[in-house]
Amino acid sequence: STEGNHPNGRTGRIAGAGDRFATATADDLLAGTAENGGDSMKIQKLSWWRMVWRLLGMTRSLLKTLAVAIVAGSLGHIAAIAIPVLGAWSMVQVMNGNQPSLKNLAAAFIVLGLLRAALHYIEQLANHDMAFRILAVIRDRVFKALRRQAPAGLDQQNSGTLVSIITNDIEL
């Protein structure tokens, strides 16, 4: 394995074929090229759409949770919209001389408010469950990639720093 040296000290390794490593500086990584034993290799930068499709691919096992989140969110918004609509309807009824039942209106407002709260909770629970499961999948893939490079690819790295970088996305 080889390691690149740069005048400003910013160097890194890029996994190549087998046990070979390409040398790269931070500038090479930003430019999208790195040297691999004389051959230039292109570092693939994912477009926004490719990244979204890749993340959606990770959610295949979570389709039930995704469906629950979508249905609960949609119904919750309908319940939230129904509250002022019901209030406007009752005002129109009063202006037309009809007297809607205050008992029924109060019950409807309470039911819609509680329904909105419950559906919002279910939506947030499903979304957070899905997000943390996807982060676990991503973290598992990162650690598998790190294990493939160890010890040659990570001999200069502090393991605590690596774990901190990888797990810094989780709020405890």
Average pLDDT over residues 48-54: 83
Which residue has 């996305």 as its token pair?
Answer: 169
Higher pLDDT, 94 or 155: 94
Average pLDDT over residues 65-92: 96
Confidence of residue 122 (pLDDT cuts 50, 70, 90): very high
CA separation for the pair 114, 94 (Å, rounded): 25
Q: Could you report the per-residue pLDDT of 15-35, keeping only the tens digit for each?
A: 443 333 344 444 443 444 444
Supply the pLDDT for residue 92.
95
- Residues 154, 104 contacting (CB under 8 angstroms): no
Higher pLDDT, 104 or 19: 104
Confidence of residue 158 (pLDDT cuts 50, 70, 90): low
Higher pLDDT, 29 or 144: 144
Confidence of residue 150 (pLDDT cuts 50, 70, 90): low
Closest CA to 107 of 96, 98, 115: 115
| DSSP element (H, E) containing 18 | none
Please tell me the pTM assigned to this model: 0.59
Q: Could you report the per-residue pLDDT of 161-172, keeping only the tens digit for each?
A: 766 766 666 554
Supply the pLDDT for residue 102.
93
Parallel/antiparallel/unpaired status of strands 11-15 and 39-42:
unpaired
Q: What is the mean pLDDT of the chain?
A: 74
Would you say residue 136 has pLDDT above 70?
yes
Q: Could you report the per-residue pLDDT of 57-78, keeping only the tens digit for each?
A: 877 888 899 999 999 999 999 9
